[in-house]
Amino acid sequence: MTVAGAENPQAGVRAQSALALRPIALVGLMGVGKTTVGRRLAAQLGVGFIDADAAIEAAAHLSISEIFDAFGEAYFRDGERRVIRRLLAEGAGVIATGGGAFCQPQTRAMLLEHARVVWLDCDVDTLVERTGRRDTRPLLRDGDRREVLARLAEERRPLYAQAHVHVQAQGGPHSRTVHAILEALASWK
């Protein structure tokens, strides 16, 4: 189901009911706004919010970049899966996952089973602009940012498409994306 920018005052109530059953997990490419939108969504619903990358950094006492540099991506993905499993078990209200988390088969299966998964999607131009604001993303260090993001978008689209709902996170106020998520969750069966 795809919803873009819809607003409905009852959507928050219905989404809150859905949330009582499972946490909401936001997935999508880096720069799509999972953390910013996730915080606002959690506030709107009156539930907790956790950024999985921040939880990983806290558990490892290292930044994501440091983990990638010292141990490699496979090690990072294993730790990411364990942290997400813990967050799901703790019943976190809204979880913003890292861009590659949902691409890992075990992590994807776990999220689909134990959360309401929302794929936040947007165009590559917006992702390039947003990810250019800081240089902390290991997968964007080498190569042209636009080419890397376009390639990742193409490779990951079939995986992200397995999410329960699909929401276009367009430019403009994040509140529009929050409303679109609430509407999509309220309509999802």
The per-residue pLDDT for 2 is 38
Structure confidence by residue, pLDDT tens digits, 62-98: 998 899 889 998 999 999 999 999 999 998 799 999 9
The per-residue pLDDT for 127 is 82
User: What number is the average pLDDT over the span 36-43?
Assistant: 95
Could you give the domains of the chain?
Answer: 2-187 (3.40.50.300)
Long-range contacts of 74-78 (CB under 8 A, 24+ apart): 77/101, 77/104, 77/107
Name the E strands within 38-188. Answer: 49-51, 94-96, 116-121, 165-168
Lookup result for tokens 């005052």: 9
Please tell me the distance from the alpha carbon of residue 81 to that of residue 179, in angstroms, as a whole number. 29
CB 34 within 8 A of CB 95: no
Tokens of 28: 């999508």
Structure confidence by residue, pLDDT tens digits, 125-184: 888 777 655 555 555 566 677 888 898 899 999 999 999 999 998 766 788 999 999 999
CB 119 within 8 A of CB 161: yes
